[in-house]
Chains A and B, each alone.
Chain A
């Protein structure tokens, strides 16, 4: 029952933040970061099994491992960028948060270029 743990942790952290925020807003932000990291790590442990499954299926049907690993990298970058952006937004810095999101999108596009070029090559070969 990990979801119960997550919800309990989130509620406890929220109550503590509500208590501390009036006196020490900077520590309240740090508590929210800590809670976010703890929940994130609990969830990432779960997701590793799914990734193993994906990898094993990719090996069985002979997909090029470059594509799968690029896909996984993109998912990881999306998770981290979302996390950082939410932390910035919580602290009231939505401008920095949007920059973090932009950086995540740009990095994802750069990572996706090899897949895009192979797709384009395929299309050009079919047309020409």
Chain B
């Protein structure tokens, strides 16, 4: 486990906000929303993987 995950998520967040601002300025509101949603889902997939990892660790450690 390392801090790269946090930096990755932060980078995705910043990228999504920049894209969002850009698309909003050029009047493509629905695509801006889609970008937001896509970023959210990508990050969610990464987080879910880590949560499963954590739960497996706890399960093996505490003899579930």
Contact A27 B58 (CB under 8 A): no
* A23 interfacial by beta-carbon distance below 8 Å: yes
- Residues facing A in B9-57 (CB within 8 A) are 9-10, 12-14, 16-17, 20, 36, 39-40, 43-44, 46-47, 50-51, 53-55, 57
The number of chain B residues with a CB under 8 A from chain A is 33
Q: Please tell me if the beta carbons of A30 and B44 are within 8 angstroms of each other in the complex.
A: yes
- Asked if B40 and A75 make an inter-chain contact with CB atoms under 8 angstroms apart, the answer reads no
Give the interface SS of chain B, mostly helix, strand, loop or mixed.
helix
Chain B interface residues (CB < 8 Å from chain A): 1-3, 5-7, 9-10, 12-14, 16-17, 20, 36, 39-40, 43-44, 46-47, 50-51, 53-55, 57-59, 61-64
